[in-house]
């Protein structure tokens, strides 16, 4: 069985970590395959939403410690230190894809798995889900985006408390902190995730992708810069078939049928 399952249905690509016997810890091969699949989904015109989830009772318990200890996996960069390049690392690829990403948090997400969850645009958690910022308890730091993501989500002081203590946050506390969008019963998680993904996929994909790009850019831009860039994104949308379909369906009081053109 593949350690990373990939399926596309109804414009939704679902990537499933598939090592349930090892709490979906990420092996060396999974790192490169995850990046490749994210790029593949982002380039596929049929894919309008990407869902990340895990098989079994865990989302992802982080990197495979056995492989890390053996020198394989994230630290196995090869070559000289000057050749160290993270451009194709999953957290960076995940951050840069234009396709909306939804984390279906089906269980525990620890370390690297927590950072991947936070790197998604939206998170839906099952009641048994939890985020474990266990980096400092393992002698490392949030190496996969957590030091950038967490303070922006909960503020510096709260992020410092969580990261410095290596605290584990249960689903309810994650919701209170704004780290997940909603919490649902475990048995309803898959349906709730698909319902949201299909709702997003039902909108004009070019407009959704442009909206995501501008929201990402806004994190490092001034207001004036972002408004300028938004206007430049708007011009080609005005010439798209989907814009005409959106206007026509509104006037004709019918559901739109967007083609991504």
Measured CA to CA, the distance from residue 31 to residue 91 in angstroms comes to 10
Strand partners, 63: 26
What token pair was written down for 86?
């993270």
Distance, in Å, from the CA atom of 59 to the CA atom of 110, rounded to the nearest integer, reads: 9
Site of tokens 């379909």: 245
For residues 21 and 23, give the distance between their C-alpha atoms in angstroms, rounded to a whole number.
Answer: 6
pLDDT at 140: 81
Task: List 26's β-bridge partners, or say none.
Answer: 63
DSSP H helices, 166-240, are: 171-177, 189-201, 205-218, 223-238
Question: Model-level pTM?
Answer: 0.89
Phi first, then psi: give them for residue 127, nearest 5 degrees: -60, -30
What pLDDT sits at residue 70?
53
Counting every residue written for the chain, the total comes to 261
Position 77 scores a pLDDT of: 45
Phi/psi-derived region of residue 221, left when phi > 0, alpha when psi is between -120 and 50, beta in every other case: beta
Mean pLDDT of the chain: 91
Half-sphere exposure for 106 (CA within 13 Å, toward CB)? 25
Distance of CA 189 to the CA centre of its chain: 16
216-237: pLDDT as tens digits: 999 999 999 999 999 999 999 9
Q: How far apart are CA 243 and CA 52, in angstroms?
A: 29
Question: Which of the pair, 140 or 47, is modelled with greater confidence?
Answer: 47
Supply the pLDDT for residue 26.
92
Secondary structure (3-state) at 233: helix
pLDDT in tens, 79-120: 455 555 677 899 999 999 999 999 999 999 999 999 999 999
Contact between 24 and 18 (Cβ < 8 Å): yes
Question: Does CATH number 1.10.10 belong to domain 205-251?
Answer: no
Residue 60 phi, psi (nearest 5): -165, 120
Cα-based distances in Å from 208 to 26, 55, 176, 192: 30, 28, 27, 20
Domain ranges of the chain: 4-201, 205-251
Place of tokens 């203590």: 165
Neighbouring C-alpha atoms within 13 Å toward the C-beta of 170? 3
CATH dotted code for 4-201? 3.90.226.10
Three-state DSSP state, 127: coil
Start-to-end CA span in the chain (Å): 37
């Amino acid at each position: 069985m593949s350690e990373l399952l990939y399926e596309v249905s109804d414009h939704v690509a679902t990537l499933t970590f598939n090592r349930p016997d090892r709490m979906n810890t990420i092996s060396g091969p999974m790192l490169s395959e995850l990046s490749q699949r994210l790029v593949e989904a982002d380039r596929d015109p049929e894919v309008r939403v990407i869902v990340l989830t895990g098989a079994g009772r865990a989302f992802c318990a982080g990197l495979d410690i056995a492989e890390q200890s053996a020198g394989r996996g994230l630290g196995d960069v090869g070559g000289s230190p000057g050749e160290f390049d993270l451009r194709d690392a999953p957290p960076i690829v995940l951050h840069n894809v234009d396709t909306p990403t939804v984390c279906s948090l089906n269980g525990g997400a620890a370390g690297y798995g927590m950072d991947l969850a936070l790197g998604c645009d939206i998170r839906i958690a099952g009641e048994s889900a939890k985020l474990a910022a266990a980096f400092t308890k393992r002698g490392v730091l949030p190496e996969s985006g957590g030091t950038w993501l967490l303070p922006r989500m909960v503020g510096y002081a709260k992020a410092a408390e969580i990261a410095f203590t290596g605290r584990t946050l249960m689903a309810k506390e994650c919701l209170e902190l704004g780290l997940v969008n909603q919490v649902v019963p475990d048995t309803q998680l898959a349906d709730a995730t698909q319902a949201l993904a299909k709702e997003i996929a039902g909108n004009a994909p070019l407009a959704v992708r442009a909206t995501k790009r501008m929201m990402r850019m806004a994190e490092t831009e001034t207001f004036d810069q972002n408004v300028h860039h938004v206007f430049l994104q708007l011009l080609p949308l005005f010439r798209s078939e989907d814009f005409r379909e959106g206007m026509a369906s509104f006037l004709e009081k019918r559901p739109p049928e967007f083609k991504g053109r």
